[in-house]
Amino acid sequence: MGIGGISIWQLLIVLTIVILLFGTKKLRGIGTDLGGAIRGFKKSMNEDGSTSGDPEALEFRDAQTADAEQTFREKQG
Res 33: pLDDT: 92
Res 53: pLDDT: 56
Domain assignment of residue 65, given as a range: 3-76
**2: phi > 0 → left, psi -120 to 50 → alpha, else beta; which?**
beta
* Confidence category of residue 2, pLDDT binned at 50, 70, 90: low
* Confidence category of residue 13, pLDDT binned at 50, 70, 90: very high
What total of structural domains would you count in the chain? 1
Return the C-alpha torsion angle 5, 11, 13, 15, nearest 10.
Answer: 150
pLDDT in tens, 29-74: 988 999 999 999 998 888 765 555 566 666 776 777 878 888 888 8
* pTM for the model: 0.41
